Amino acid sequence: MDDKDYLFIATPSLYILSNAKKITACNCIRDGRAVIVILTKGLIETPNGIRLVTDAVEDQLPGTCRNRLVYLSGPSHAIEVAQSQITGLISASRSGLNSIGVRELLSGGNLVVFSSLDVKVVQVSAALKNVVAIAFGMLDALKRDSAGWA
């Protein structure tokens, strides 16, 4: 794993910080050569308070990794990608080159990836979409189970 150009972290938020610490043993991370692509959604509780995923992960990595993180997000499910359904994602990084690199690496067929420099807004949007989805699920249940719902 020491000579990789890209390293994808797709782990539940509960474990992402411990996994980020583990990858620091790789030469490509210590040397700052690998682009680290984070797929984990949500906010993370740290000793310094609630943090965005990329901020919390970056704190665990050596300084050579500054601006090497890319946050990959979008309204997608792995099963839909596997079924070749059209899927859109966004690759967000403070580094335009890294954002575009991930976009170019993943785009093709039915997978469309857009680039962004606004990492914070993409992460907050990803976290908030789940809250909105839960609210609409509750409304669907109310409509289904309530005779008086119009």
Active site (catalytic) residues: 129
Q: Which residues of 69-84 are buried (b: 16+ CB within 10 A; e: fewer)?
A: bbbbbbeeeeeeeeee
Say how far apart CA 112 and CA 92 lie, in whole Å. Answer: 14
Say how far apart CA 119 and CA 106 lie, in whole Å. Answer: 18
Alpha-carbon distances of 95 from 22, 34, 53, 69, rounded to whole Å: 24, 13, 17, 8
